[in-house]
Amino acid sequence: MIPSDGALAFRENGLAAGDPVTAGPAGTGSSDTRPDVTRSSDAGWTVTEGAFDPARIHASETVFVIGNGVLGTRGTFEEGFSGDWRATLVHGIFDDSQRYLTELACVPDWTALEITLAGERFTLEAGATLVYGRVLDVRNGLLSRSVRWQSPRGLTWDLAFERFASLADTHLLFGRVTVTAVDGGGPVQVRSLVDPLPLTDGVNHWRAQEATAEAGVAAVLVETLGSHLQVGLAQRLTGSEPAVSISSAVDVSGRPALSATWTARAGQAVAVTKAAALHTSRENSAPLAVARAGLEATAPDWDSVLAASAANWADRWAVCDVVIEGDDEAQLAVRYSIFQLLISAPCDDDHVSIAAKTLSGLGYRGHVFWDTEAFMLPFFTFVQPELARNLLSYRWHLLDAARRIAAAGGFKGARYPWESAMTGEEVTPPFLPDRNNPSKLIRIWTRDTAVHVGADVSFAVYQYWRVSGDDLFMAERGAEVLFETARFYASRAEWNAVAGRYEYTTVTGPDEYHEHVSNNAFTNYLAAWNLRAAAEVAEWLRSSDLRGKAAGEPAADEVAAWRDVAAKIYLPRDPRTGLVEQSDGFFGLRDVNLADYRGRSKSMQALLGLEDVPRTQILKQPDVLMLAFMMPDLFGPEELARLDAYYTPRTDLEYGSSLGPGIQAILSCQVGDAGAAYGQFIRAARADLRDVRGNAGDGIHGASAGATWQAIVFGFAGLRVDHDGWLLRPRLPEPWTRIAFRFSYRGEYKQVDIRRLPGVGSGVRAESSA
């Protein structure tokens, strides 16, 4: 067995010599040694809502988002509800914004339906909702809702709604409503309308180029006002019964509409299916013509498209699934997190990336942060490397913009922005209103001082290279990213002649509560790493068959200079205890006992104020612990325990950053505290499903979803990859009895199955196979 204190585990070619593990099938009486990572009950695959709470409408809209890697559609009701935040967001469809510089623009809504039942408009805001239920099945991305509705006049109707975005043909979208008259019956009309001018948080980004409803197809072609991107949307309706009549018209407001009408009889279920096709000018020059052709030529139907999409989902889950036994909540949470990552990742487009709020809401306006590389990308690197390559290529394509940012500051190389969109320019708003006092503007300093992003990107590039073995990507794209960021850090380093070292002053680390600090440990260590890694890659290229493929390859003297700067960068650390000060003077700031603030409903920044919280040791997220996670060889077990004991109690875990808890769970595992690790893990896992921070309505916490997966694989399973291969140091929390998952290493999928041994305390049994 492998005891839970992290003894020896597996190397690349199976069990390492001397490991106290017996190889063989995980179960009894089985000759198949491959772990079954797909066995689970339906409860582990479905998110359910048993009652509708209007007070939680926006959080529910986020939770029930669907997508396919090209677009995301929030879980708003087809028939609408007052104050809902309807949004379908498509990768790369940005437009100018006076307030946010640029933002993802909501495209025309493909889900909207007006339903009239015996002369009464169906809405949950009138009549009585007798039965309600909603289910998202993450196995196939199908969203379902069932309602028994009693109209204001007393008639009772059953309505069942379904929708999905195809993963097989990512331009196809389907919705269906099935209407049953429980008593009475009468005339029914289902109208599908397309608004050519959808609003994005109250702002119009569109001009209508075409709006038609003819030959059974309703269609719009719209163009963004500033960026001049076009979106073409076409849709058609079909009825399940011959008596259903389909008509089309453009209404007085210019909205194309299709109508399905029939006379309902008691007990008769009639379905109306909507097929929609959406294309953009980012893919072709005539998006509406292509959308129309997609509906007319192939005549897609619900069953065949859903089956093809489900087959694609089955292929994804075959390698992406994580099985947890003994904890139903954790099982669903990790699958939900994986689902959110998969529906946000661009499959066929390496010019876009995953925004902080994915494609699920308007929070951060669709901008890309370091969240992607540090928190989300490891999942793709280890499970879907072809998608990781796309995400990293996005940064490579935008190197010229990063060079311009560096040059504007008087530096060499490339400096990636704090917030990025389509062009790679800095799109962080200089000022934003204070949430507690909207009349007051807050200066957003991270656009000027958060210089660690380039190293975060380089770290992700390097990790992908080491895990995937993709030498060609490193030579053709990744190396240039490392070289240009190294040039920036070399030129940005400031020589302190008195101390005889290089420093970085006036910076902001991941902990945004403390801005304009000097020698932020995370920044300094990552900058030094970036310089060394760039030098390593340059020397590798010179000795490889791929020499000459990388743009901007450095000469030997520049590589030597990088190593010299890296060696002289100040890396704060107490040589006796190993304790690292987050930044100059941090230990001298006022200490606050966060336990005194239990039961609060706001962040410590909101409670103490923007001016006061930087004078304390309260952390939004712990920079030093993030550093320890990214560079596990820096600290021994005792040093790591000291760091964890110092920084975790000072972290605003409840309402600070959603990025931290999953990573802190990994470190708690590494110091042997699986109980504390579980508490931090479950906070990350509940970020959206339970809306623990009260802001899920803004969109999915993409970083928290990625950190949830990392906490299981790198924390509780203890997976670690180094130059020699990979190994496991599992620590299962109570009440888990099993973890099983796959990961990709050097082009080959590995399978891991870790089980708690009955009757031996904390002992576990782990197995691995290719």
Of residues 79, 426, 512, 553, which has the active-site annotation? 512
The SS3 of residue 105 is coil
215-246 CB burial, b ≥16 within 10 A, e <16:
eebbbbbbbbeebebbbbbbbbbbbbeeebeb
CA distance 602 to 731: 33
Contacts by residues 605-609 (CB-CB < 8 Å, ≥ 24 positions apart)? 605/513, 605/652, 605/656, 606/435, 606/436, 606/655
Determine the residue type at 134.
R
CA distance 562 to 730: 38
Rg (CA), the chain: 27
CA distance 113 to 190: 7
If 0-12 CB within 10 Å is exposed, 13-18 middle and 19+ buried, where does residue 545 land? exposed
Strands (E), 319-473: 322-325, 431-433, 441-443
Contact between residue 335 and residue 370 where contact means Cβ atoms under 8 Å apart: no
Q: How many CA atoms lie less than 13 Å away from 489 in the CB half-sphere?
A: 37
The SS3 of residue 361 is coil
> Which pair of structure tokens corresponds to residue 386?
């072809």
Q: Classify 92 in phi/psi space as left (phi over 0), alpha (psi -120 to 50) or beta.
A: left
Q: Classify 80 in phi/psi space as left (phi over 0), alpha (psi -120 to 50) or beta.
A: left
Residues 6 or more apart from 522 whose CB is under 8 A from it? 452, 509, 510, 582, 623, 624, 626, 627
CA angle 477, 481, 484 (to 5 degrees): 135
Q: Classify 395 in phi/psi space as left (phi over 0), alpha (psi -120 to 50) or beta.
A: alpha
Q: What are phi and psi of 69, to 5 degrees?
A: 90, -10
Prior bond of 510 cis (ω within 30°):
no
Q: Residue 124's beta-bridge partner residues? A: none
Residues in the chain: 770
Q: Which residue has the tokens 């003894």?
A: 7
Q: Classify 14 in phi/psi space as left (phi over 0), alpha (psi -120 to 50) or beta.
A: left
If 0-12 CB within 10 Å is exposed, 13-18 middle and 19+ buried, where does residue 710 land? buried
Nearest Cα residue to 215 out of 248, 187, 174, 168:
248
Q: Which residue has the tokens 């991941």?
A: 510
Contact between residue 135 and residue 34 where contact means Cβ atoms under 8 Å apart: no
DSSP secondary structure string for all residues of 648-704: GGGB-TTTS-TTHHHHHHHHHHHTT-HHHHHHHHHHHHHHHHS-TTS-GGG---HHH
Is residue 512 part of the annotated active site? The answer reads yes
Residues 6 or more apart from 297 whose CB is under 8 A from it? none
> Which pair of structure tokens corresponds to residue 721?
């990859």
Q: What is the DSSP letter of 368?
A: B
Residues 6 or more apart from 768 whose CB is under 8 A from it? 10, 14, 15, 728, 750, 751, 752, 753
Q: Per 3-state DSSP, what percentage of the chain is helix, strand, and coil (rounded to 5)?
A: 35, 25, 40
Catalogue the active-site residues. Answer: 512
